[in-house]
Amino acid sequence: MALRGPKVWLWRWRRNPLRRRADAVEAWVVLGAWALTVLAGVLAGLTAAHSVEQGLARERVEWRPVEGRLAERAPGTSTGQDQRSVGEHVWAKARWTGADGSAHSGQVRVQAGSAAGTPVTVWTDPQGRMVTKPTTASEAQLRASLIGGLAGVSAAAVPFAGGRALRGRLERRRMDQWDAEWARFGPLWGRKTS
């Protein structure tokens, strides 16, 4: 078991006759790696979150609900209105008219057994193409936070891993230097001086 003394803060920067050049280099590498890790993580996370939130806000502004009609009877059989559950939704073909007057069609989720001509709500983009219902402001904020956090952690991993690799290489170099010095001075300790 190695004996260690009390932990001294910033010991690599203090004047000390036992401090080697390799200790100072390692200190700067660790400091630089941590600074880059924090900076890269924060910048990437904030940028990604802002970008996602702006995109989702643009969708909320541009996407509009349009009333469409089922083009055919939905597959399955319908049960009473009170007994329907979310699991009884099926895909059926619907048609709608875009803002520019062009006709569109696509698959929508409806209650099983719905008759042809049943009105359905279809969300469309400015070109009239079918899209999903846009996220609410709170959902967008949560999604942006999660994506920003993931992007920040991913970006921070690069300088962190680089700093660890560089520090490991410095450690191996220092151990090789110690081995060389030990090989040179170790045999002298065994000789008698009398």
pLDDT in tens, 81-110: 544 455 588 999 999 988 888 889 999 999
Tell me the CA distances in angstroms from 139 to 56, 125, 146, one per residue in order: 9, 19, 11
Q: Are 60 and 140 in contact (CB under 8 A)?
A: yes
Mean pLDDT for the stretch of residues 15-26: 78
Mean pLDDT for the stretch of residues 62-75: 91
- Report the predicted TM-score, pTM, of the whole model to 2 decimal places: 0.69
Q: Is the pLDDT of residue 193 over 70?
A: no
Mean pLDDT for the stretch of residues 133-162: 96
Q: Is the pLDDT of residue 6 over 70?
A: yes
Query: Which letter, b or e, does each residue of 22-44 get, where b requires 16 or more Cβ atoms within 10 Å of its Cβ?
Result: eeebbeebbeebeebbeebbeeb
Q: How far apart are CA 185 and CA 177, in angstroms?
A: 12
pLDDT computed for residue 47 by the predictor = 97
The dihedral built from the CA positions of residue 14, 15, 16 and 17, taken in this order, carries a sign that is positive
